[in-house]
Amino acid sequence: MVKHFSLLQKFPYHRSDFRFSTIAWRGAKNVTRAVSTAVTRALILIRIARAESLNDLPAEILTEVLSDYPYPRQLTAKERKILGL
């Protein structure tokens, strides 16, 4: 995950435990119970995971899902090691 999001120039992300969660979908007011919305979000995450570069992602994903990344925080020692820094 660290290398993948670094490749997409969207690292570091919010969490430092290697779990990616979109800031736009966080919080009680943004949780959905609609199956169609949950499926759409899952498909977006799959598309992000399969992308080899930012050019592989549509502007909608970049602005609505990944706009808050890279998240302004310090890299952990483990992340620095993974990235070879």
Q: What is the pTM of this model?
A: 0.76
Total number of domains constituting the chain: 1
Question: 23-55, pLDDT tens digit by residue?
Answer: 778 888 888 889 999 999 999 999 999 999 989
Q: Domain containing 10: what range? A: 2-83
The pLDDT of residue 46: 93
Provide long-range contacts, Cβ within 8 A and 24+ apart, for 33-40: none
DSSP designation for 69: -
| Average pLDDT estimate for 42-71 | 89
Longest alpha-carbon distance in the chain = 42
Residue with tokens 């969490």: 15
11 pLDDT more than 90: no
Average pLDDT over residues 2-16: 83
Distance CA 27, CA 46 (A): 21
